[in-house]
Amino acid sequence: MDRRDLLKSIALVTGAAVIGGDFFLTGCKQAGKSEAGFTPDNIRLLDEVGETILPTTQTPGAKAAQVGEFMKVYVTDCYTQRQQNAFMEGLISLQDSCEKMHGKAFTDCSETERKEFLISLEKEAKAFNQKRDEEDKPTREAHEQRNSTLPWKDQTEFEGSPSHYYTMIKQLTLLGFFTSQTGMTETLRHVPVPGKYDGEFPYAKGDKAWAE
């Protein structure tokens, strides 16, 4: 699967553009910002959240793909300082919200409790992002209008208010998993690039998607 197509698919699934996607595609780093401040506990928590989103079935899940470590690298390299702050503050909110809902930390919850909690965050994130988009709309339109008067090389990307932290986590879980060796070779069917074109290759209903 092409990375650009993957980013588009994740945006459709989560209802928001993937933050830092341009930097991810080009391999560049955001300049002039500090480290995000991840701890081993943060990474373990993100692995567990990711595993609830993409659990182990007949194939390995998100934890096997080390999505927590992927998020650390991605957030540090591809997020702006404002986005980093929203993500790290979100980890605190996640723990606080789980304590309120189930009376214990996320990592202490059962599989059913974890799923119930993430479903509640999904609903919360949807409402949050819709309100954010409405509030950002005038500024976004003004930015797009300014860009339309400038040469391509002088145009800038609009940075709106950060998405809900759960949207960020879900996006990075999907992105980290499906770009990992585990996701590419054990969940998707992998064919090395350049490979060859075969317009009559047989397909059976239920076959895994191809990855390149």
Name the residue ranges covered by the structural domains of the chain.
3-118+164-189+206-211
Confidence category of residue 196, pLDDT binned at 50, 70, 90: very low
Distance CA 143, CA 147 (A): 6
Contact 71, 94 (CB under 8 A): no
Distance CA 122, CA 173 (A): 14
Find, among 86, 92, 84, 85, the residue nearest to 23 by Cα. 84
Q: What are the pLDDT digits (tens) for 32-78?
A: 455 668 999 999 999 999 999 999 888 888 999 999 999 999 999 88
DSSP secondary structure code for residue 192 in this structure: -
More confident position, 15 or 105: 105
Non-local CB neighbours of 123 within 8 Å, separated by 6+ positions: none
| Torsion sign, CA atoms 24, 28, 32, 33 | positive
Radius of gyration of the chain (CA): 19
